[in-house]
Amino acid sequence: MLGIRFFKADPTTFVAHLKNGAVVRQGPGLSFFYFAPTSSIVAVPINTVDVPFAFQLVTKDFQTATLQGQLTYRVADPPKLASLLNYTVEARGGYMTDDPAKLADRLVNLAQTVAFSSIQSLTLEQTLAATQSLVASLLEKIRAAELPKSHGLEIMALTLVSVRPTPETAKALEADAREQLQRRVDQATYARRNAAVEEERKIKESELNTELAVEAKHREIRESRMQADIAAEHQRALLLERKLANERKEAETKAFALETSLAPLKGVDWRTLMAVGRGGIDSKMLISLAFHDLAENAQKIGTLNMTPDLLKTLVEDAPTAQG
């Protein structure tokens, strides 16, 4: 029949059939016949949609960073979105206007605005290092924005594929990173050398302590020997002192005995003692004693005459007399 057409939607498309401006039927995945001259078909996809984005922003330290990723959303309230954007389809199934494409642009602009406000408070290095926290912050701010609420959208996820500086800045950061890594390598090398030196010092100290302990033991042995020698010398000195004391006492005893035995002879003339010791005095001895007395009293003698015969007799008989 002329003007009668059939429309069939898939389950992920919300369809609204309007006749003369009034809604006849609406819902996801509907199939129906309609009269084209008086009907309008609105089809709003309700499946999840990924919107890629890539834009450049300036960080707190005036460095340019490129954020690349995608925003995932779904239409949670199709009638609200259809009231803001024209999702009417034509007979061939395409949209009559380019309004459906504007939704992705609006979301990208929203993501760029939110990212700009967040990046302004971070330096380039902080931005590069805080990707995960940056994603969480951007997602929270986009969900709280007015655009998703007014358009009946549900923001499902936000993903940052990369955060890149400019090529020149990237080279400088790479050089700085390489320098830091090299410093870490050097520090690790120095630490290893210091550890080796420290271990060597401990070994040397242990060896020195061992030598000191051995030397102390040797010193103790020497001191013990010296103490033993001193004790032996002390004992020897005591023995010698005791021996000298004994000999002194023995000599004193002998002297006392001799003095006691000679006490009766103290007043006896020595001539008498000689006469007693020899068993008598001969004529030659008497002459000798006479000469002795003369010698003791020489200052009293005026003239002394001795005959040659007398002297010859005394000289010739002297050996006999000594014997």
Predicted TM-score of the model (pTM):
0.54
Distance CA 132, CA 31 (A): 44
- Per-residue pLDDT at 286: 63
Asked if the structure places residue 135 within a domain, the reply is: yes
Number of domains forming the structure of the chain? 2
Q: What is the pLDDT of residue 323?
A: 41
**111 vs 161: CA distance, rounded Å:** 14
User: Residue 11 falls within a domain, yes or no?
Assistant: yes
Model confidence over 121-148: pLDDT tens digits? 888 888 888 888 889 999 999 999 999 9
The mean pLDDT value for 289-311 works out to 68
Quick check: 322 pLDDT over 60? no
* 107 occurs within a structural domain: yes
Which residue, 146, 52, 46, 53, is CA-closest to 87? 46
* Residues contacting residue 37 through CB under 8 Å, at least 6 positions apart: 3
Same domain, 79 and 109: yes
- In the prediction, which pLDDT does 125 show? 83
The pLDDT of residue 154 is: 96
- The verdict on residue 281 lying in a domain is no
User: Whole-angstrom Cα distance, residue 154 to residue 80?
Assistant: 12
> Is 74 found in the same domain as 9?
no
Q: Is residue 147 located within the same domain as residue 74?
A: yes
Of the pLDDT bands very low, low, confident and very high (cuts 50, 70, 90), residue 118 is: confident
- In terms of residue numbers, what domain contains 60? 48-85+97-165
Indicate whether 56 and 141 sit together in one domain: yes
| Position 271 in a domain | no
Of 137, 165, 193, the one marking the end of a domain is 165
Distance CA 195, CA 193 (A): 5
List Cβ neighbours of 102 (8 Å cut-off, separation of 6 or more): 85
| Start-end of H helices in 11-144 | 78-84, 99-119, 124-129, 131-144
Cα(89)–Cα(78) distance, integer angstroms: 15
**What average pLDDT score do residues 285-305 get?**
67
- CA distances, 120 to each of 75, 79, 115, 136, 167 (Å): 31, 37, 8, 16, 20
Structure token pair of residue 306: 């001795």
Q: Are residues 75 and 17 in the same domain?
A: no
Q: What is the pLDDT of the chain when averaged over all its residues?
A: 84
Supply the DSSP string of 165-222, one letter for each residue. Answer: E-HHHHHHHHHHHHHHHHHHHHHHHHHHHHHHHHHHHHHHHHHHHHHHHHHHHHHHHH
For position 111, what pLDDT does the model report? 94
Share of the chain above pLDDT 70, in %: 82
pLDDT at site 47: 94
CA dist., res. 103 & res. 107, Å (int): 6
pLDDT tens-digit map of 27-76: 999 999 988 888 999 999 999 999 999 989 888 888 888 999 999 999 99
Mean per-residue pLDDT for 210-232? 90
Using alpha carbons, select from 135, 119, 117, 110 the residue that is nearest to residue 66: 119
Average pLDDT over residues 200-214: 91
One domain for residues 23 and 106: no
Residue 113, domain member (yes or no): yes
Domain final residue, candidates 113, 145, 165:
165
Those residues whose C-beta lies under 8 Å from the C-beta of residue 22, and which sit 6 or more positions away, are none
Q: How far apart are CA 321 and CA 323, in angstroms?
A: 5
Residues 97/114, Cβ–Cβ less than 8 Å: no
pLDDT at residue 300, rounded to an integer: 67
Co-location of 73 and 102 in the same domain? yes
- Regarding whether 126 and 58 lie in a shared domain, the answer is yes
In 3D, which of 143, 30, 138, 141 has the Cα closest to residue 78?
30
Q: How confident is the model at residue 274 (pLDDT cuts 50, 70, 90)?
A: low
CATH (domain of 58): 3.30.479.30
Q: Give yes or no: residues 155 and 68 share one domain.
A: yes
Task: Tell whether the model's pLDDT for residue 292 goes beyond 80.
Answer: no
| Cβ partners under 8 Å of residue 108, min gap 6 | 51, 53, 55, 71
Q: Which residues contact 5 (CB under 8 A, 6 or more apart)?
A: 33, 34, 35, 36, 91
Q: Which residue would you say has higher pLDDT here, 298 or 254? A: 254
Please indicate, yes or no, if residue 136 is contained in any of the structural domains.
yes
- Residues 152 and 68 placed together within one structural domain of the fold: yes
Name the residue among 26, 20, 32, 23 with its Cα closest to residue 44. 26
- Give the pLDDT confidence score for residue 260 in this predicted structure: 81
Same domain for 39 and 146?
A: no
pLDDT value for 321: 43
pLDDT of residue 287: 67
The pLDDT value given to residue 164: 85
Tell me if 289 is assigned to some domain.
no
- More reliable by pLDDT, 291 or 207: 207
Q: Are residues 108 and 158 in the same domain?
A: yes
> What is the reported pLDDT for 297?
67
